[in-house]
Chains A and B, each alone.
Chain A
Amino acid sequence: MLRIAMVGLISLLVGAGLATGTGVWPVRPGLIGLSAMLVSGLVVKRHWQRLRAVGADPGSPERALWHGLATTALVGGHLFASLWVIGPAMRLHSPLVHDTAIDNWTMVLGALLSYGLTRDREPRRDERDRLFAARGQRAGYIALIGQAVGLSLVLGYGAGTVVERLSQSMVSHLLISTLILAAVVQYAAQLRLYAIDHRHELTVS
Chain B
Amino acid sequence: MTQDALARAAGITRQTIVALEGGHYAPSLELAMRLALVFNRRVDDVFFWREPPAACNA
A contacts, CB < 8 Å to B: 55, 58-60, 62, 124-129, 197, 200-201, 203-205
Contacts and interface: CB of A to CB of B under 8 A. Distances in A.
B19 interface: yes
B11 A126 contact: yes
Given A126-B12, A128-B13, A197 B28 contact: no
Contacts of B18: 201
B19 A126 contact: no
A59 B25 contact: no
Contacts, number: 47
A127 B27 contact: yes
Given A55-B3, A127-B28, A127-B31, A204 B12 contact: no
Binding site of A, secondary structure by majority: helix, strand, loop or mixed? helix
B16 A126 contact: yes
A197 B27 contact: no
A126 B27 CA distance: 11
B15 A58 contact: yes
A204 B27 CA distance: 18
B23 A204 contact: yes
The 10 closest A-B pairs by CB, nearest first: A126-B12, A204-B22, A200-B24, A59-B15, A128-B16, A59-B13, A124-B13, A200-B22, A126-B13, A126-B16
A46 B18 CA distance: 23
Contact of A197 (B3, B7, B15): B15
Given A128-B25, A129-B16, A200-B24, 15 more contacts: A60-B13, A124-B12, A124-B13, A126-B11, A126-B13, A126-B16, A126-B31, A127-B27, A128-B13, A128-B15, A128-B19, A197-B24, A200-B22, A201-B19, A204-B23
Interface in B1-47: 3-4, 7, 11-16, 18-19, 21-25, 27-28, 31
A198 B22 CA distance: 10
Contacts of A60: 13
Nearest to A129: B13
B13 A125 contact: yes
Contacts of A59: 13-15
Contact of A127 (B3, B4, B12, B24): B12
Contacts of B3: 55
Contacts of A205: 22
